[in-house]
């Protein structure tokens, strides 16, 4: 393959054929480690040894588009070619899991809303900042906006909600605020009627709620995107660390620590834990949920 002739954005007619041929190719253990480590260093996502075949399948779809016939050549392309950065951006959506839905793990979000209300009452807080890191198509951030609206928080103060994700494609979906019934599978009928307009198979989110959330592209293991934020009241990073290595989690939560206000909190997914990884956050247990708060470093 001649790198100069590559056009990664236009799929050749025989891409599908090439993809199925590449899927059959064996990814050697050596190539697997090179690519797996490169991806891990870039974004924290870690493919365990048992996932060699999964990674091979995901890479082969991009190799077919670029007409790159071997995994080591693809590694060199990612690492050394001038378009390697763009290629990583195209590869990312094939590596991530974007599963999300409205009103997911709701007890934790209710607790967050109650905490913010308490801060208004006790400290007269007038501004809040919340980050949804690994926001996917926006359901989590928009759910929080709906819940804050229902709780009357917007009548009392300003809340900036930012969704951040590494995957540019999924952020376009988030910004469009168009969903399917699948995203609303845990949303009550009344809430759906109040906040969504039905257009055939699509559910269009109410414009007022849509405007309450903004989205930015950012890689959370890179300190720079998080460095744009200071004194954040809450970071939601739910169902992201299940795909990260412990070292990547450690690196990321150190940035979260710097980004959060002293009394800020961190929300992880139910199946995720910082125990045995770091002690810079401690758990705060509540009746049917838990959150993390900063410990004295």
- Is 62 a residue that touches ligand SAM (CB under 6 A)? no
Question: Smallest gap, in angstroms, from Cβ of residue 92 to ligand SAM?
Answer: 7
Site string for ligand SAM, 159-198 (x = CB under 6 A): ------xxx--x----------------------------
Q: How far apart are alpha carbons 91 and 180 in whole angstroms?
A: 25
- Is 219 a residue that touches ligand SAM (CB under 6 A)? yes
Nearest to ligand SAM of 22, 103 (CB atom): 103
Could you tell me how many residues of this chain bind ligand SAM (CB under 6 A)? 24
Nearest to ligand SAM of 68, 236 (CB atom): 236
Residues contacting 9, CB < 8 A, separation 6+: none
Question: Smallest gap, in angstroms, from Cβ of residue 73 to ligand SAM?
Answer: 25
- What is the pairing mode between strands 260-268 and 232-237? parallel
Contact 297, 257 (CB under 8 A): yes
Q: How far apart are alpha carbons 77 and 107 in whole angstroms?
A: 45
> Beta-carbon neighbour count of residue 237 at 10 Å?
25
| Three-state SS at 163 | strand
Q: How far apart are alpha carbons 44 and 39 in whole angstroms?
A: 7
- Is 91 a residue that touches ligand SAM (CB under 6 A)? no
Which of 78-85's residues contact partners 24+ apart within 8 Å by CB, and which partners?
78/35, 78/38, 79/38, 81/3, 83/3, 83/6, 83/8
Q: Which 27-46 positions form the footprint of ligand SAM (CB under 6 A)?
A: 43-45
Question: Smallest gap, in angstroms, from Cβ of residue 46 to ligand SAM?
Answer: 11
Question: Smallest gap, in angstroms, from Cβ of residue 221 to ligand SAM?
Answer: 5
Element (H, E) at 215: strand 213-217
119, 237, 277 from 256: Cα distances, Å:
20, 10, 14
Site string for ligand SAM, 129-148 (x = CB under 6 A): -----xxx---x--------
- Is 61 a residue that touches ligand SAM (CB under 6 A)? no
- Is 240 a residue that touches ligand SAM (CB under 6 A)? yes
Question: Smallest gap, in angstroms, from Cβ of residue 67 to ligand SAM?
Answer: 26
Which tokens in the block code for residue 79?
A: 């690492």
Contact 234, 147 (CB under 8 A): no
Q: Which stretch binds ligand SAM (CB under 6 A): 25-33, 61-69, 184-192, 232-240?
A: 232-240
Residue 205: closest CA among 264, 145, 246: 145
Q: How far apart are alpha carbons 264 and 57 in whole angstroms?
A: 41
Question: Smallest gap, in angstroms, from Cβ of residue 15 to ligand SAM?
Answer: 23
Among 60, 96, 129, 162, which residue interacts with ligand SAM (rule: CB under 6 A)?
A: 96
Among 18, 36, 104, 115, which residue interacts with ligand SAM (rule: CB under 6 A)?
A: 104
Nearest to ligand SAM of 146, 240 (CB atom): 240
Instruction: Summarize as ranges the residues that interact with ligand SAM (CB under 6 A).
Output: 43-45, 96-100, 104, 134-136, 140, 165-167, 170, 219-221, 238-240, 269
């Amino acid at each position: 393959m001649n790198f100069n002739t590559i056009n990664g954005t236009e799929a050749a007619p025989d891409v599908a054929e090439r993809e199925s041929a590449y899927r059959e190719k064996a990814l050697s253990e050596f190539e697997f480690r090179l690519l797996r480590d490169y991806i891990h260093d870039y974004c924290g996502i870690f493919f365990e040894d048992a996932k060699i075949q999964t990674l091979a399948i995901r890479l082969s779809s991009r190799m077919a588009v670029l007409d790159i016939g071997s995994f080591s050549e693809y590694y060199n392309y990612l690492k050394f070619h001038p378009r390697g950065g763009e290629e990583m951006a195209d590869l990312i959506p094939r590596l991530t899991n974007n599963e999300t839905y409205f009103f997911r793990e709701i007890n934790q979000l209710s607790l967050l809303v109650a905490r913010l209300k308490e801060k208004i009452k006790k400290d007269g807080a007038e501004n809040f900042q919340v980050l949804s890191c690994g926001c996917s198509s926006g359901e989590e951030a928009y759910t929080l906006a709906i819940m804050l609206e229902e709780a009357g928080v917007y009548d009392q103060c300003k809340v900036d909600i930012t969704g951040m994700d590494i995957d540019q494609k999924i952020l376009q979906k988030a910004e469009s605020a168009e969903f399917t019934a699948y995203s609303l599978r845990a949303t009550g009928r009344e809430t759906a009627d109040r906040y969504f307009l039905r257009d055939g198979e699509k559910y269009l989110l109410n414009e007022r709620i849509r405007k309450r959330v903004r989205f930015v592209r950012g890689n959370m293991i890179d300190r720079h995107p998080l460095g744009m934020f200071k004194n954040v009241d809450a970071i939601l990073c739910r169902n992201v660390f299940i795909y990260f290595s412990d070292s990547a989690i450690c690196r990321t939560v150190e940035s979260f620590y710097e980004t959060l206000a002293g009394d800020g909190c961190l929300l992880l997914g139910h199946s995720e834990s910082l125990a045995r990884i770091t002690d810079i956050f401690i758990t705060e247990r509540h009746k049917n949920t838990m959150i993390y708060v900063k410990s004295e470093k």
